[in-house]
Amino acid sequence: MRILISAGEASGEMYGAQLIEALRNCVARAPSPAGGQLEFFGVGGERMRAAGCETIVDAKDLAVVGITEILSHLPKIYSLFDKLITEADKRRPDLAIVIDSPAFNWRVARQMQKRGIPVVYYVCPQFWAWRQGRVRLLRKYVNKALVIFPFEEKFYRDRGVDATFVGHPLADLPKPEIRREEYAAQHGLDTAKIWITIMPGSRRKEVRMNLPTILEAVAQLGSAYEFLLPVAPTLDWGRMQNLIGTNGAIHLIPEALPALAHSRAGIIASGTATIEAALMGTPFVMVYRVSPLTYALGRPRVKVPCFAMVNLIAGKEVVPELVQAKFTAQNIL
């Protein structure tokens, strides 16, 4: 069975890798696999490649955010989209699975539907938060929606989408078992100091908008602290090193969960990282900034009172949210 799978950002790419491994395990356990061997190709990154997916388009090349930012990248995005669809026409997949990234993936879904290929949307767009009219795209181009928050199932079903709640993919991840001393030795950390995880985002534009203010806050904290910065797979390690400069208190880390598990607190950009911090039991402040034009165009469309998912689930602000003008070094501290 040949499956096109498209995940255009760091969190979706992680979910895609988990899904590929789970599907392979299901086939391996089946007494007489009806679909035979599974073949995956599409959009992804290092984790999906490690899971056995042939990436026609690298997720790094789609990692843009914001209305104005997307507009400047449109020619490149359309070129990558055409490359993916051309490959799909050659390979004729039996199924298409698209993960999050609605700006790119609903177009993938539309093209697959036109070709008679069934489409599953895993980790559906948060249309309940904004642009609710776009639910019609799911209704039209998606055969099955797999949602990760309980309230999403009713929201989509009430609007004619065949949706099923399957649980959040991060909920099954075990808490890292590595001891603090061993973790410190691996990454050159001082166990006598207080560790704080900083996560400015998984896209280059997010990092440019969020990291400078986070670094201002870091500079105001004393020598009693060390800072762990997990580098998302969609980001370049060397570029991140250049951005933090020679600040020896900041350590680049390959994985987020161990860093969060061993940190006293976190400064976390809005997104999946806030869920990771909550699951690890790490207190954090949520921060986020986009361009003034992107914010002015997008804010009136937002239908929910909070940005952080933990606050939305709780129905109140349980973690501070510092967005746009409120996002300052002083407010972080």
Q: Are residues 197 and 281 in the same domain?
A: yes
One-letter amino acid for residue 263 of the chain: S
pLDDT at site 75: 78
Q: Are residues 184 and 168 in the same domain?
A: no
Structure pTM? 0.76
pLDDT at site 64: 54
Q: Are residues 6 and 30 in the same domain?
A: yes
Alpha helices in 45-159 (DSSP H): 46-50, 67-91, 102-114, 135-141, 150-157
Residue 147's DSSP bridge partners are 165
pLDDT at site 233: 82
Judge residue 287's burial from the number of C-beta atoms within 10 Å of its C-beta, 0-12 exposed, 13-18 middle, 19 or more buried: buried
pLDDT at site 72: 59
From first to last of its 333 residues, the chain has per-residue pLDDT tens of 999 999 988 788 889 999 999 999 888 887 765 556 899 999 999 999 999 999 999 988 876 544 445 555 677 888 899 999 999 999 999 999 999 888 889 899 999 999 999 999 999 887 776 667 778 888 999 999 999 988 899 999 999 999 999 998 888 777 888 999 999 999 999 999 999 999 999 888 899 999 999 999 999 998 899 999 999 888 889 999 999 988 889 999 999 999 999 999 999 998 889 999 999 999 999 999 987 777 676 665 666 667 788 888 777 889 999 989 999 999 998
Q: Extract the tokens encoding 204.
A: 């280059």
Domain enclosing residue 50, as ranges: 2-172
CA dihedral sign, ordered 224, 231, 187, 178 = positive
Q: Residue 234 has what DSSP assignment? A: T
Q: Are residues 13 and 161 in the same domain?
A: yes
Q: Are residues 242 and 136 in the same domain?
A: no
Q: Which of 140, 172, 204 is the last residue of a domain?
A: 172
pLDDT at site 67: 45
Q: Are residues 320 and 283 in the same domain?
A: yes
CATH code, 48: 3.40.50.2000
Q: Are residues 30 and 140 in the same domain?
A: yes
Q: Are residues 218 and 239 in the same domain?
A: yes
Number of domains present in the structure of the chain: 2
Q: Are residues 151 and 37 in the same domain?
A: yes
